Amino acid sequence: MRLLGWQNLTPTVGAVEFSRPERHRFRKQRDFANFLRHVETGLRLRIPRVDFRRDEALLFAVGPRSSHGYSVRVREVRVEGGRLVVLVEEQSPQLGSPARPGLTYPFALITVPRSDLPVAFEWPQEP
């Protein structure tokens, strides 16, 4: 196993509503931008520039959640068993926490060094 460096682009995107769980790998700016424009619902969408000659973008979304207390974060990215493994964690609100009700769409968008290895997302909390 070898840990791999990555960059979090999630805060740079703005409001995006993923109506279902999504797992995507983007290797071209055009495909990346077209996908985000397709799911975009807010005026504040920002499509980050990625240097796709050296990096690729990975997106993981869990679909709609019932309050603002949910979030998704990438714990680690590693090369293991001939594949690129992205360990993703969904944070859910704790009982009694001050989470505001309302639909949210937690997701994580990262860049990693470009690779030909297959990508596997590990999500231990997957229902």
pLDDT at 37: 84
**pLDDT at 43 exceeding the cut of 80:** no
Task: Provide DSSP, the chain.
Answer: -EE---EE-HHHH--B--SS-EEEEE-SHHHHHHHHHHHB-STT-------TTTEEEEEEE---EEETT-EEEEEEEEEETTEEEEEEEEE-PPTT--PPEEEE--EEEEEEE--SS-EEEE-TT--
Is residue 52 one of the residues assigned to a domain?
A: yes
Q: Is 93 within the bounds of a domain?
A: yes
The total number of structural domains that make up the chain: 1
Question: Quick check: is 8 in a domain?
Answer: yes
Asked if residue 127 belongs to a domain, the reply is no
Is 90 inside a domain boundary?
yes
For residue 71, being part of any structural domain is answered with yes
Computed over every residue of the chain, the mean pLDDT equals 90
Q: Residue 53 falls within a domain, yes or no?
A: yes
Domain interval for residue 111 = 2-122
Rounded to two decimals, the pTM is 0.91
